Amino acid sequence: MGLKPATNPDVEAATIELTIDGKTVTAKDGVSLYDVISSTGKIIPAMCYHYTFDPFGSCGMCLVMQEGKKAPVRSCTAKATAGMIIRTEGDDLFQARKKAVEKHLSVHPLDCPVCDADGHCELQDMAFQHGVTNLANAKQKFIPEDTRSLVLDFNMNRCIACAECINVCKDVLMIDALQFMKKGGFNQVVAKGDLPLSCEFCGDCLAVCPVGAITNKFSKYLYKPWQMKKTTTTCNYCGDGCQMYLETKDTEVIRVTSPLSWKNKWGDRADTAKGHGGLCVKGRFGFEYIDSPARLKQPLLRKGNQLVEVPWLEAMHAVVDRFADLRKKHGPDAIAGLITARCTNEELYLFQKLMRVAFRTNNLDSSARYGHMNFVRASKLALGIGRTTNDWEDLTKAKAVLVIGSNLTETNPLTSVRIKEAIRVYKAQVMVFDSAITNLGKLASHPYLIKPGTEGVVIDGLVKAAIELDLVDEDSVKKHPQAFAALKSAVATVSLEQVAAKTGVALERFKEAAQIFAESPRSIILCAEGIVRQPEGYQNVLKLMDLAWITGKLGQPGCGVNTVTEEPNEQGAVDMGVAPEFLPGLASFDDQAMRDKLAKSWDVTLPPAGSGAHLTEILKRCRSGQIRALYIIGENPLATLPASMDVRAALDRLELLVVQDPFLTETGHMAHAVLPATTSAEKDGTFTNLEGRVLRVRQGMDALGESVPDWQILTALANGLGCQWEYESANDIQTEIMKLLPGYYNLGQPKKILPTADHYLSNGYAAAAAGRYRTARSENARPFTLLMGQLLYHSGKLSTLAPGLIKIAPNTGRIRMNPADMERMGLQDGAMVKITSDRGSVQAGVQLDQSVAPNTCFFPEHFNEPPLKDLMSVHVDAITGVPSFKRTGVTIEKV
Ligand code: SF4
Ligand code: SF4
Ligand code: SF4
Ligand code: FES
């Protein structure tokens, strides 16, 4: 790690001067000489170098002459020191580099015609650049290809032993799945232990391999790189918003590649703090849903008991007529709409406009309601912003990260890579409180395994410990004496001993964590599904704000309270006003100034202030018959929500159910009309990622069949209902949004914000805080806690439509249990058990899983077979309306 000080704000390195090709250059003492040379704009060959990890020094290409030395030096592993005189060009260097290329080629097969890397191969480029023509002495290795991995093939005949794959996996991803092994007289890359590759399957090793030694199973032998259309777009799986290249041929997706590549190796090391350009398994190998044969290609209308294919015109006439008729007969509030946060900002904006302008109702919601809304509402109340306070760079450079209720490697893998970098490069102290033995917990300096459902109690303990140990920031609390007095009295009854007993974490550990958090100069809180998707999520986020406030971590650069979003555009959904409580720009729905602005711009009277219904209320009103027509875009409540929410009964009662989706979902099967929408690969627009960064979604291929982008269907529907929308492209919609929300399209970096809680702390805080620390956790009367959550290899239900991901992580139909619990109960892997909650019983197999904590069991939320989700009770937050249904007490019996 010796060559990293250049980017670490905590490492003081002297500024030095050295001479490169006759020019004086300043640099930080001790950084890689190669980095200094490339910072001058000069690119010298380097086949084993990549800026994301420390130099390895094996390829012998980055040679330079240093005055005073006889032989050329490898600039990547040489450290810059004051007074160095360096020459990077000259015939001697050219010949030395040429020799290195010849050496590599002498043991490299010349099978370029059948190599996927042909045309995208650094060895080819180098051979060409250095005029290597004598290949007569090439020696063959005859190493059999290793095709045991599910996603990658290893052809070690082509390997140049640069170790980039090993280093990216070990150093950047901290997974360490690969190694060199001497076999048949050659160094070969193998999965650890020479077993079939078992890893996170991110494919970053494939991305940095400069030759064709690692190949992508999905696209092998299909096309040469130049035969495919390459479109830069944003991943549609999670809120990290990774940039990717979608490589297509006509209407077929061939592969996905990443900005991380051996071709993009000369970045500034400071850039990795903003993201290293890699992808996770979902982004890289989960693309097959896009051109899946299961895609809907034609509209469907219910005729009798059947959904039958009809032309678009017939479908739209039927939908428009039914909506218009129901609105006329029963008023606007007989209609409601739900939309997925996998839609673009432009579509989300149009959706809320359609609901409010064409239907004149405020009954609308998005999938952000499943949890993100708890964070948004708390952040809006306390800080006035309604989103996270920090970007990836802040997270990477933090000195202390408090991760609570966040299994990031599974839900937001690339955010998790940023924390890994914080650990590895910036030496952050990372405290992980979780009821599962998470991947991040294993890497963290301070992992704390807590009892399930005690996240709120943990926060009580941290706030109490900060006050008890006098870790408060005087300046922050002095400004709000009343609020601080109220907080102190609110936590007066919190006993750290009781907190320790309830959470299972020793009292001293609370003190330790509070101290690390309070005393570090840049401290960040990150809370996710274990907080925002659980009961009391809203209050728990506010309590985290309390912790940040009293320790002086609000409004300070590099500090703050953050969450992650599971779907790609949950932040965009709330920013665009897809919620009954918000107008676009996160203005309150009752905000008169914004209402006036929108009414004028849209030339309409908005639905009355205070009106509207969110997801659970919409379903309730469907069941009561108050809502008669429901328009669902990309959501599948029947498959997502547990039986206790009676979704089927709600949908059954409807007089009109219109589902718009790229697939025929369980909910779609109940619909009166199903409209085929495209995926994000077939349309333009933008997503807003978890940092608040607005990222482009670009059309990579023609729409499949007769499917149409959601924004076009929304426009047609609005016009059918009497509006006069003239949008001809996503750009037209953006222009309108830009007028209403100037500055929203911050394409590139989100603006750094330093929010203040001053208004919140001096306006009603004292009264609200009093009750916040009195929430009693309902004790689990059953011996086990069943948790449902995400797997790294899946995202919602969408990923289950990608066969490659299903191959990696199929539905085993089994609950995962801790080995100790299984042994205690005499259960073998695969044994059948009966799982009983207050809502009924389900039979399932069991599967041993070391990451599951004792007395808990886990089932992936992506699958409904067996229907474990129906064992879940639902708790709806009284303030935010967020339904929590991911945890319940269960009894497990052997059958
Ligand atoms: S796919 Fe990712 S995790 Fe697996 S070996 Fe390659 S870099 Fe490592
Ligand atoms: S497999 Fe590729 S990246 Fe890995 S050592 Fe060989 S050439 Fe380098
Ligand atoms: S799923 Fe998330 S982390 Fe993975 S590539 Fe897509 S945006 Fe990135
Ligand atoms: S880049 Fe320096 S030895 Fe390979």
Say if residues 819 and 850 touch (Cβ distance below 8 Å). yes
How many residues belong to the chain? 895
Chain centroid, CA 17 distance in Å: 42
DSSP 796: T
Give me ligand 3 centre to Cα 237, in Å: 6
Q: Work out whether strand 887-894 and strand 784-789 pair parallel, antiparallel, or are unpaired.
A: antiparallel
Residue with tokens 């999938």: 367
Q: Residue 460 to residues 379, 529, 554, 857: CA-CA distances in angstroms?
A: 18, 18, 18, 26
Give me ligand 4 centre to Cα 76, in Å: 6
Residue 445 to residue 424: CA distance in whole angstroms: 11
Residue 731 to residue 743: CA distance in whole angstroms: 15
Report residue 434: phi and psi, to 5°: -155, 155
Protein residues whose CB sits closer than 6 Å to any atom of ligand 4: 46-49, 55, 57-62, 74, 76
Give me ligand 1 centre to Cα 46, in Å: 22
Q: Which residues of 662-783 form beta strands (DSSP E)?
A: 673-676, 685-688, 694-697
Give me ligand 2 centre to Cα 279, in Å: 18
DSSP 817: E
Q: Residue 46 to residues 104, 556, 679, 711, 778: CA-CA distances in angstroms?
A: 13, 40, 39, 46, 60
Give me ligand 3 centre to Cα 412, in Å: 7
Give me ligand 2 centre to Cα 135, in Å: 21
Of 172, 198, 200, 257, which is best to mutate to test ligand 1, by the most ligand atoms within 8 angstroms of its C-beta? Answer: 200
Give me ligand 4 centre to Cα 561, in Å: 41
Q: Which atom of ligand 4 is nearest to the CA of 77?
A: 2
Is residue 796 within 6 Å of ligand 3 at its C-beta? no
Q: Which ligand is nearest to the CA of 201?
A: 1
Span between the terminal Cα atoms of the chain, in Å:
54
Residue nearest to atom 1 of ligand 4 (CA): 46
Residue nearest to atom 7 of ligand 2 (CA): 159
Is residue 283 within 6 Å of ligand 3 at its C-beta? yes
> Smallest Cα–Cα separation from 351: which of 682, 673, 572?
572
- Reported as type and span, the H/E element at residue 517 is helix 507-519
pLDDT at 141 (0 to 100): 85
Q: Work out whether strand 560-563 and strand 523-527 pair parallel, antiparallel, or are unpaired.
A: parallel
Residue 94's SS3 state is: helix
Q: Which atom of ligand 3 is nearest to the CA of 795?
A: 1
Give me ligand 4 centre to Cα 47, in Å: 6
Burial of 500 (0-12, 13-18, 19+ CB in 10 A): middle
Residue with tokens 């709409």: 337
Say if residues 801 and 665 touch (Cβ distance below 8 Å). no
**SS3 per-residue string spanning 126-192:** HHHHCCCCCCCCCCCCCCCCECCCCCEEECCCCCCCCCHHHHHHHHHCCCCCEEEEEECCEEEEEEH
DSSP string, 465-488: HHHHTT---HHHHHT-HHHHHHHH
Of 173, 189, 262, 414, which is best to mutate to test ligand 1, by the most ligand atoms within 8 angstroms of its C-beta? Answer: 173
Is residue 695 within 6 Å of ligand 1 at its C-beta? no
Residue 879 to residue 538: CA distance in whole angstroms: 8
Is residue 204 within 6 Å of ligand 1 at its C-beta? yes
pLDDT at 6 (0 to 100): 53
Residue with tokens 């060895």: 123
Q: Is the dihedral of CA 601, 606, 611, 617 positive or negative?
A: negative
Residue 544 to residue 560: CA distance in whole angstroms: 10
Residue with tokens 């890689």: 32
pLDDT block averages, 10 residues each, the chain of length 895: 54 89 94 92 95 93 97 96 97 97 92 93 96 82 92 96 97 97 89 93 98 95 91 98 96 95 86 92 98 97 97 98 98 98 98 98 98 98 95 95 97 98 94 96 98 96 98 97 97 95 96 98 97 96 98 95 97 98 97 97 96 98 98 97 96 98 98 98 97 96 97 98 97 97 79 88 91 70 95 96 96 97 96 97 97 96 96 96 96 96
Residue with tokens 């990579």: 700
Say if residues 613 and 589 touch (Cβ distance below 8 Å). no
DSSP 870: G
**SS3 per-residue string spanning 560-591:** EEEECCCCCCHHHHHHCCCECCEEHHHEECCC
Category of 203 on φ-ψ map: left (φ > 0), alpha (ψ -120 to 50) or beta: left
Q: Is the dihedral of CA 638, 642, 648, 651 positive or negative?
A: negative
Is residue 235 within 6 Å of ligand 3 at its C-beta? yes
Is residue 241 within 6 Å of ligand 3 at its C-beta? yes
Upper half-sphere CA count for residue 182 (Cβ side, 13 Å): 1
pLDDT at 1 (0 to 100): 41
Give me ligand 3 centre to Cα 428, in Å: 24
Give me ligand 1 centre to Cα 280, in Å: 9
Residue nearest to atom 5 of ligand 3 (CA): 283
Give me ligand 1 centre to Cα 207, in Å: 10
Q: Which ligand is nearest to the CA of 199?
A: 1
Category of 72 on φ-ψ map: left (φ > 0), alpha (ψ -120 to 50) or beta: beta
Residue 748 has which token pair?
């590139």
Residue nearest to atom 8 of ligand 2 (CA): 162
pLDDT at 749 (0 to 100): 65
DSSP string, 632-684: EES--HHHHS-GGG-HHHHHHT-SEEEEEESB--HHHHT-SEEEEB--GGG--
Residue nearest to atom 2 of ligand 3 (CA): 238
Residue 362 to residue 343: CA distance in whole angstroms: 19
Is residue 630 within 6 Å of ligand 3 at its C-beta? no
Residue 421 to residue 419: CA distance in whole angstroms: 5
Residue 280 to residue 236: CA distance in whole angstroms: 12
Q: Residue 389 to residues 114, 273, 555, 558, 600: CA-CA distances in angstroms?
A: 49, 16, 9, 9, 32
Amino acid at site 515:
Q
Residue 890 to residue 621: CA distance in whole angstroms: 31
Report residue 114: phi and psi, to 5°: -115, 20
Amino acid at site 466:
A
CA-based R_g, the chain, Å:
29
Of 37, 58, 103, 265, which is best to mutate to test ligand 4, by the most ligand atoms within 8 angstroms of its C-beta? Answer: 58
Residue nearest to atom 3 of ligand 2 (CA): 209
Is residue 177 within 6 Å of ligand 1 at its C-beta? yes
Which residues lie below 8 Å from residue 536, measured CB to CB, with a gap of 6+?
Answer: 456, 775, 877
Count the neighbouring beta carbons within 10 Å of the beta carbon of residue 529. 28
Count the neighbouring beta carbons within 10 Å of the beta carbon of residue 306. 8
Residue nearest to atom 6 of ligand 1 (CA): 205
Chain centroid, CA 309 distance in Å: 36
Residue 879 to residue 863: CA distance in whole angstroms: 30
Give me ligand 4 centre to Cα 447, in Å: 37
Protein residues whose CB sits closer than 6 Å to any atom of ligand 2: 159-165, 189, 208-209, 211, 213-214
Q: Which ligand is nearest to the CA of 266?
A: 4
Say if residues 475 and 552 touch (Cβ distance below 8 Å). yes
Give me ligand 2 centre to Cα 167, in Å: 10
Q: Which atom of ligand 2 is nearest to the CA of 160?
A: 7
Is residue 242 within 6 Å of ligand 3 at its C-beta? yes
Is residue 44 within 6 Å of ligand 3 at its C-beta? no
Q: Which ligand is nearest to the CA of 46?
A: 4
Amino acid at site 599:
A
Is residue 408 within 6 Å of ligand 3 at its C-beta? no
Give me ligand 1 centre to Cα 209, in Å: 11
Q: Residue 466 to residues 488, 551, 556, 795: CA-CA distances in angstroms?
A: 11, 7, 18, 37
**Cα angle vertex 712, ends 248, 330, to 5°?**
145
Say if residues 204 and 198 touch (Cβ distance below 8 Å). no
Amino acid at site 270:
A
Q: Which residues of 818-886 form beta strands (DSSP E)?
A: 832-837, 840-848, 856-860, 875-876, 883-884
Q: Which ligand is nearest to the CA of 281?
A: 3
pLDDT at 2 (0 to 100): 47
Say if residues 440 and 418 touch (Cβ distance below 8 Å). no
Residue 102 to residue 111: CA distance in whole angstroms: 16
Q: What are 524's strand-pairing partners?
A: 401, 560
Is residue 280 within 6 Å of ligand 3 at its C-beta? yes
